[in-house]
Amino acid sequence: MNNEIERNLGPQPIERIMAEHHLKPHDLVAASTEQITHKMIARACKGRRLTPNAQTKVLAALNRASQQDYRLPDLFTY
């Protein structure tokens, strides 16, 4: 029996949302008031599982950069 957590979950809705707002990973990093990296954004878009803390940081950066009010279920399918 394999109890490993699936880590690669495929493209996530955050990738589509960023494209709709013409945002690049750098835009989210620049808009963030917390410490996030380009790598965190890339992993979020590709579907690598992020910690809840990292998800919250990415969410805050996206909301600030897009001037919208997204929630975690809007960005991630896991």
Output the pLDDT for position 6: 72
At 15, the pLDDT band (50, 70, 90 cuts) reads: very high
- Choose among 39, 14, 16: nearest CA to 29: 39
Q: Tens digits of per-residue pLDDT, 32-75? A: 999 999 999 999 999 999 999 999 999 999 999 999 999 999 99
Domain boundaries, the chain: 13-75
pTM above 0.75, yes or no: yes
Task: Outline where the chain has alpha helix (H).
Answer: 13-20, 25-31, 38-46, 52-66, 72-75
- Rounded (5°) CA angle 61-25-19: 95
**What would you measure as the largest C-alpha separation in the chain, in angstroms?**
45
Do the beta carbons of residue 41 and residue 25 sit within 8 Å?
yes
